[in-house]
Amino acid sequence: MQVILVKDIDSLGESGEVCNVSDGYARNFLFPKGFAVEATAGALKDLEIRSERIRLKAEKKHQEDQARAEKVMAVGTLTLAARAGEHGKLFGAVTTKELSKLIAQKTGMEIDRKALRLNHPINRLGEYELEIRFSPRVQATLPVNVVADDDAAMDADFQ
């Protein structure tokens, strides 16, 4: 089934593109959520008329995403203090929710935790790479340094 995307979808494409998808995927997911419309003759003609507006809107969003990515990358290395044991293992893992809050504190921008990607879980002290996906075409990579919290070190001294 051919559909016209109304919103950007990472696995399919960007808004305004015509894609071939299975009937069930279109009927059960894309149409109810408002992510796409069926590519009928009338809808395709309407798309041609609106294509310039869609292109300008997509270009503006791309520029905004680029600016946001540059602002996030200007922060440099994020340093996160976490409680850890003797051998550098954390008491619990650092979540994307915590990282999102830390980025919001540093930059003043709210970033959805679902946009954050980690290669592997942060459950030890050390350096990690955090990928932030603003759109399918714009990503930023940010180094994260996890250090031992002073309170945790004091707790280990008393035991």
Domains along the sequence of the chain with CATH: 2-62 (3.40.5.10), 72-158 (3.10.430.100)
pLDDT in tens, 49-94: 888 887 888 889 899 999 999 998 998 888 988 888 888 888 888 8
pLDDT at 16: 84
> At residue 144, does pLDDT exceed 50?
yes
Q: Hey, what amino acid is at 21?
A: V
- Residue 108 banded pLDDT, cuts 50, 70, 90: confident
Which value, in Å, is the radius of gyration of the alpha carbons in the chain?
A: 22
Q: What is the C-alpha to C-alpha distance for residues 57 and 17, in angstroms, rounded to an integer? A: 14
pTM over 0.75: no
- Residue 46 banded pLDDT, cuts 50, 70, 90: confident
- Closest by Cα among 65, 143, 147 to 109: 65
Percent of the chain with pLDDT over 70: 94
| Host H or E run for residue 116 | strand 116-118
DSSP sequence for 14-79: -TT-EEE--HHHIIIIIHHHTSEEE--HHHHHHHHHHHHHHHHHHHHHHHHHHHHHHHHHTT--EE
